[in-house]
Structure 1
Amino acid sequence: MSQPLMRRRATAVSPAGARPAGAPALTAAPRDYTYDGTFEGLLTVLFTVYDWRAAPNSIQPAATAQAGLFAQPAHRETDEAQAARVWDGLLRTMDAEARARLYHVFLSEDAERELLIFRYVDLALRAGRDIAENYVEATVRRVQRLAQQMFREKHRMEAFVRFEKTRDGLFHATVEPDYDVLPLIAAHFTKRYADQRWLIYDRRRRYGLYYDLTRTDVVQFEEAGAPAHATGAVAATVLDEREPLFQVLWQAYFDHVNIPERRNLKLHRRHMPLRYWKYLSEKQPRAQPFQPIQNKRPPGAAGALAGPAAGPE
């Protein structure tokens, strides 16, 4: 996956209120568009739509595009300058938070994400103002719902990632999120684990984030070059010799902070869905059975330790 991490650009935001509408009438015959599958490529397609004044019948990644019987789709190569103009120009009709939601919708991998983003942008351009709270529009509701799902998945990934230390000092974690959230969690892990090398690998999408103590990059692995990463597992021979101990200690901590009397599996699974359990150390079979800490004094022990009560003089 060649998609880069999205970088926000510093752009002055217009004062609140109505903004000048800038969408020309789409008077040409509708077209089918294809692009390279990157967010910048999609922004280039949006630029082309208004440059050609031809609304999209469809917008599809070229690798998976289904061509029509009588017309070939118009393929647009990514143009960084055009993509930047569109990305910065969106702030004329929406605030930075609403614009970020469009990027989140793209990462959601929804089957209609490209047309959904186009419809939202077109509505905003023709309204000349922020439409984020215009829930009468089905497009706005759909964008908001996908953005909420992305935020929830991002939050879970930040909470549920579990690292394993390898012999060369690399901390490795495998994840399999429902949505493509790695670009959204990069800043969190870069800031939180700035003093150690780490790799977070998305098994479903076959790419990862690698931090080398100076920067975080998107990395890919060849099919035959890294069989361990391709399966999402790390061979025991490459793990640090203390890693099993670390896992036992973490499992012991998890067991001892648990309160059996307040056990609520339904609530537990709501906050920690089953699909994450296979990558959580605390959910793996115990190497040794759990034994409660024997540090509670028997009834009356406190009085016995205090000694005999002082009598009257």
Structure 2
Amino acid sequence: MSLREPPVWNGPSDDPNDEQFGDVVEPTTLDEADAFDAVLIGEPYDGAVIGRRGAREGPGALREALAGIKTHRFGAGPVKSIGDLGDVEVSDGDVGAVQESARETTREIHTSDTLPIFLGGDNSLTYPNAAPLFTGSLGIVNFDAHLDCREVRGEPTSGTPYRQLHEAGLDAYACVGARHFETSTAYADYVDYQGGEIVTSEAVGEDVESAAERALDAMAEVDTVYVSVDLDVLDATAAPGVSAPTPGGLTTRELFRMLRIVAADDRVAGFEVVECAPSLDSGNLTAAAGARAIAHFLSAYDGDRS
């Protein structure tokens, strides 16, 4: 599997003082990725979605929304040093074969001295996005309405990545924003058996910082942390353009605050935003939320790490 040529970025504002992500993101290659604190990688694929499809258009929508966002965060200053590697070439077919092919590319990306930010695409590619990090102990903080630890029956789906990762040796797992009445008892019991931490959306609403700390506490014994945002973690009013929008989710402000807390952890080695489906969206709300999730994460991530 290979990478398509990255797009050219431009900020849409005609005010020279309005520095936007479109002004600072630079197309790059794997050979030059080390020059950036972080690099974007698109994954235009939704062949494993259980529910409504449309996430294959997510990378383009996230890039377009991000290009128009200003780079400045109060108290932190501007975000800089971001590259774009383009989109992974993903073909339809057997999902397991797609995952293995994607893993060949993500393994190369993870060898670069930069933070990969994967733009989904559906949740099934979380498995190949995180699996190359099994060079030491690995934990995952998953912002998601669902646990996505279904058994693989026939072939993987967008509901199986964390079962696959646990079976591959995942050392720690925390799901933040899980909704009551969205997960079967068998899967909640599975996560409990694996020693995972489930932080409900209700718990987030009660204390955002405590919820983030619970997730990081679950990562206490691991060397490396991967962070995933499935945009269905947000309330359906904030992110209608996902495969399975439901009420009772996080607010964008809650998500952004927790992402800044988690991104500051010096073990973070990868980040993704998945399940953005523009054709299912309303007023580009979901793409706007996903793009700002990336901006908030980058604003707290320190690329100068040993």
- More helix per residue: 1
Greater relative contact order structure (CA < 8 Å, 6+ sep):
2
Tell me whether the two structures share a fold, i.e. TM-score over 0.5. no
User: Higher strand proportion, which one?
Assistant: 2
